Amino acid sequence: MTRSDPLDLAASPRDNLYAFGKTWGTFGEDPLISTFHGAMYASVGTSRLQPLFGYAGTGITKVRFVGEGAGERLQMRGKETGFFYDLRTGEVIESWDNPFTGETVDVFPFLNDKIGGELTLEMPRLYVGDAEEHGVAMNENVDASDDGTLPFLLPWAVYGDEVLLEWDYAHEYPNPVTPSGWPKSSTGDTINPSEHFVIYTSKRELEDRDLASAHFRAGFSRVSPFWPWMRMGGSGLEGGVMTGRLHSRKTIRGLDDVPPKIRAYTEKHHPDYFEAPEDWDVSGPILSSWEAYARSTPREA
């Protein structure tokens, strides 16, 4: 018989921790791969948005509760890839002809095998890289408790068995790819990347305590300045915006659910990203493409 316990997603931070961990990752030992893919566009002034390339990748996240208080600290440990592909062929690209500058540039894929973090019953402030003072609450629209803290409550909506979750993050912080250090790669002193998810999962799967994971599918949009590897610095278009619409989902058939050409490229060049992390080092860091680029790309000036 299935061991099912109701969840109070509207008022219980513990139930929110459990549901979020079970949706985004897995409490089980076996790795569960999530994958995403979609198209990126350039927005410049009032011109029609121009399709640029596809963006696709994978993620693996394992989760566990730790500490003395039952369900009060949730550790998350994962890996993530992000590759760029030709919208016509689906092939991963390693160089790209920039239509705005006429320059052929080297593509910089996103690879992070050090993703880690810990969530508690209090709403965390999320920050990227070293910009801790510019962190933003994971959910900015929750009311404070009597002691002034923000409880870990996310904006779930339940319709029968269908459970929806809205999740937005919108950052603004100093650009790690500085104009003085990378004049061709930088778009300015400040960057403001954001992503906006609409996640769908199952109430039955969330409340089934014998299941280590609940399947999710999601759509999300991404808005940011141009990525550093596009080398838009000095083009006069540094104020342009890159936006995209993408699918995301936890796989059901394992690697067979990863886009075939993304799977083949990852298996050939980065096969360890299809394996779950062996450790529970949750010290991070959480990186965006800008932090990763600045840490691994020599300064131009």
In a domain, 2, yes or no: no
In a domain, 248, yes or no: yes
In a domain, 105, yes or no: yes
- How far separated are the first and last CA of the chain, in Å rounded? 65
**For residue 266, what are the contacts with CB-CB under 8 A and spacing of at least 6?**
58, 81, 83, 258, 273, 274
Tell me which residue range forms the domain holding 258: 13-296
Reported as a single tens digit per residue, the pLDDT across 139-198 is 888 888 888 889 999 999 999 999 999 999 899 999 999 999 999 999 999 999 999 999
Say how many domains are in the chain: 1
In a domain, 6, yes or no: no
In a domain, 5, yes or no: no
Identify the pLDDT of residue 295. 93
Reported as a single tens digit per residue, the pLDDT across 86-98 is 999 999 999 999 9
Q: What is the mean pLDDT of each run of 10 residues along the chain (301 residues)?
A: 85 96 95 97 96 98 87 93 97 98 97 94 85 82 86 96 95 96 98 96 97 98 98 97 97 96 98 96 86 95 85
Measured CA to CA, the distance from residue 53 to residue 105 in angstroms comes to: 13
Burial class (CB in 10 A: 0-12, 13-18, 19+), 21: buried
In a domain, 176, yes or no: yes
Whole-structure pTM value: 0.93
In a domain, 4, yes or no: no
Identify the pLDDT of residue 2. 66
In a domain, 301, yes or no: no
